[in-house]
Amino acid sequence: MATPTPVEVLTAVFQVREPTQGRPTLHVLLHRSSGEAPWSLPGGDVGSRETLAAAARRHLGGQCGLTRVAHLEQLSVFSDPDRIPQVRTIAATYLGLVPRDVPVEPAAVDTDAPGTARWIDVEELPDLAYDHARVVELARSRIAAKLSYTNLAFALAPGRFAMSELSEIYGAALGYHVDATNLLRVLSRRGVVIATGTVGRTGPSGGRPPALYSFADDSLVVTDEFATLRPPP
């Protein structure tokens, strides 16, 4: 009888965070078991009575101290026989998103596997273990695609936001500038965002307080299946 092929779960979790300088950028949560080990995506084994999603959440909590994600979806299956040199292992991968206003500072809480976890800018990734960089790139592509035709940004945005902040979030996820006025027009027409009737704080330069908006739904909804967001010319 053939030996069963091991299966692992890996999760690429993203959050738009403030860098030390400049505009907000998209960060991914990485983990390593020791100072000499390569950075990797959180993940590991799947229990005999555990779903893939449950295993993904367990490893996020155990390795990174992350217990809340606003959105979690299966990404793809990586089954190249040589993706891990030692023992053939199939990876079921997931995409996770954390809202910008959720303060998540990673902490290693699994005493059986001490290590560190860190949010790292996706444009400044270190060398990652095995094919984990491919998983990150696939997850980023999934985010960019779904921002076009769904309300996926609900999982990256705070509960209430000015359109200038939401445009920063879209820009960080897409990798190019997104005009706030155009974004409001598109999302309002699709019924994705609604005005809350409240205003936020004025910026450092003063001026009128910005109107605040919220997403109409707090779960994934297809809003325009044929839409495609494109970078400005």
- Residue 226 pLDDT class (50, 70, 90 cuts): low
The domain segmentation of the chain, as residue ranges, is 7-147, 148-215
Distance CA 18, CA 27 (A): 9
Q: For residues 79-97, give the mean pLDDT.
A: 94
For the chain, what is the total number of helices (H) and then of strands (E)? 4, 9
- Residue 1 pLDDT class (50, 70, 90 cuts): low
Question: Per CATH, is 7-147 categorized as 3.90.79.10?
Answer: yes
Q: What share of the chain is helix, strand, coil (3-state, %, to 5)?
A: 25, 30, 45
- Residue 205 pLDDT class (50, 70, 90 cuts): low
The CATH topology of domain 148-215 is: Arc Repressor Mutant, subunit A (1.10.10)
Per-residue pLDDT reduced to its tens digit, 17-40:
987 677 899 999 999 887 788 999
Distances (CA, A) of 60 to 55, 95, 135: 9, 12, 16
DSSP 154-188: GGTS-SSEEHHHHHHHHHHHHTS---HHHHHHHHH
Better-scored residue on pLDDT, 3 or 42: 42
